[in-house]
Amino acid sequence: MKKYLLFACCLYGASAFAQQSDGKVTLIINQPENAIVTGDLGRKLNDTMVYLYEMYAGENDSAQIKDGKFIISKPMPKGGSIHIIKVGQGADLKSVMLAYVEGGKMHIAGKGDYLTGAKFSGDKWVKEWMEVYNMLDPETPVSKQLAVLEEKFREASQLGDEDAAIEINKKADSLMKIRLTAMRKWLAGNMNSGVSAYLATCYIENMKAKDSIMNLLGEHAKASRIAQRYFHPGKVDPAPVSMGFDDSKAADRNFSAVAVGQDAPQFSAPDVNGKNVSLADFKGKYVLVDFWASWCGPCKPQIPFLKAARDKYKNKDLVVLAVSLDSKKEAWEKAIAAHQLDWINISNLKGWSEPAAQAYGASAIPFNVLISPEGKILAMGLYGEDVEKKLAEFLK
């Protein structure tokens, strides 16, 4: 599902950075400088907690507001990364902000209304982040239009109106191109900023373009935790934690059963001919379960990567099992034919109420899960070239 939110929650330490002659990026193991986040939010918020949360790994630092002020000193051994700054326990959006944070100083000056209207100052990276933040501010005309389209998309999806969802996606794509042009212009002038690593990994969908930008980043940008995760997947940080802001009942589910290393939940659904297909049918094989839908724009760029991985390993006990979140059979079958999805396609045609999607906590698509011959979850959320790379670890 394409969600046009303020920021995509894209979650991709003392030796000097060095790039090897073969173009590979050296793994940086230590950057000892702390991030010092201070604030003066006014006495109205006295005794309120302020949290600094690293989104990918789930690392949390906090401080209590006293005399209107707070200070958080967070070690940054792996470099700069995207964090959530949250004031208080409530879920009000005015108390939450996404921010790039690295070693150095950031100061937040507010007027007692949580983070509404707060001014951010400090080291160069703070200025860089605020330029990007303001570019994506929800009050810009493009952001407002995208917000309206997101709500319409949500309504169309709930009603199972794939035609409307596809049309909404097209309108949103044109607006996103406007935003992407501004991002690329900013990137071109800030290639040594850790913020650029965030923009490239989260907003540049074309893998070749993404790789090109990441390889052209300056040494400081490449030393960020974001870039290091990109260049060394699985070595800098483990798989990302599951988090999100969701007002649906899905947010209350216990997702412990879908962690890597756990038993894969069983499920079944009819294929396009009405024959019931079960995950248990493929015991003894590696199964890549792919959650998608005919109306899902971001699902389409993943298809070539899925096909390449399937073709490479189809003779090594790999099964691709595609579970659609469609609600109309005609749209589902049309998409299968249009994209030549010649693997196993199943669906109960229940949209977001698809039992398999609920069992695996698939609250956004595209999403996939790799399951071992023994029925254990090996990996989740593989995209682009990472699909084939992860399979190569097991299918040799």
pLDDT of residue 266: 94
User: How far does Cα 3 stand from its chain's mean position?
Assistant: 11
Q: Tens of pLDDT along 122-146? A: 999 999 999 999 887 777 788 888 8
| Residue 305 pLDDT exceeds 70 | yes
Q: CA 283, CA 286: separation in Å to the nearest integer?
A: 8
Q: How far apart are the two ends of the chain, measured CA to CA in Å?
A: 33
pLDDT tens digits for range 29-45 = 556 689 999 999 999 99
Contact present, 292 and 1 (Cβ < 8 Å): no
What is the model's pTM?
A: 0.61
Residue 18 has pLDDT above 50, yes or no: no
Question: Judging by DSSP bridges, how do beta strands 318-324 and 286-292 pair with one another?
Answer: parallel
Are 153 and 172 spatial neighbours (Cβ–Cβ below 8 Å)? yes
pLDDT of residue 252: 37
